[in-house]
Amino acid sequence: MAGLLGEGNQLDTLMEELPAEWVAGANRLFRGNEVFNPSLFALENNLAPNTVDRLCASLSAMGLLGFDLADNQHFYRRLPFKLNRILSLNPRLKNARALLDAADDVQLVSVGAGGRTEARVRGTDVWHTVVVGGPEPARCTCPWFSGHQGQRGPCKHILAAQMRFA
């Protein structure tokens, strides 16, 4: 399984990693096909809305939280996978974190007006230029980003630059 439908568009939300205990806790707390109201869950558990948004994004990207368009509501679903396996399914996020683990793979080039940051990020054979921050969408010179233009979420180079410099 390479990923789940729409997971690429959730990567910005997933960059700030939630503790694995939260995902495991949600898996214990919710029953399969149970209706899930994020606002009510936040109020009942005294959680900030952005924390619940991150939890929803994580659960959705893992395929554990669905959305029923006909009923206009979220629902929790159990999948026949171990949680550790599901957590490892996001290759771009995993690869971005690997780039950050190597001290010199993400380098600051400049910071411009409005917080626009230019970085060099190591690719497989070449260095890629990445621009993040500010009002404009992030960009990268890698082939993956060039082919998708952000329509499938950010590439690993953009994610690494955002995590390092945001």
Q: Where are the domains of the chain?
A: 7-89, 92-165
- Which tokens is 34 given? 């149970």
Q: Which residues on adjacent β-strands are paired with residue 36?
A: 74
Question: With a threshold of 0.75, does the pTM exceed it?
Answer: no
CATH architecture of 7-89: Orthogonal Bundle (1.10)
Which of 20, 15, 4 shows the shortest CA–CA distance to 61? 4
Q: What is the DSSP string of 50-116?
A: HHHHHHHHHHHHTTSEEEETTTTEEEE---SS-HHHHHT--HHHHHHHHHHHSTTSEEEEEE-GGG-
Asked whether the predicted pLDDT for residue 4 surpasses 50, the reply is no
pLDDT of 117 over the 80 cut: yes
Residue whose token pair is 């009942």: 44
Percentage of the chain modeled with pLDDT above 90: 30
Mean per-residue pLDDT of the chain: 82
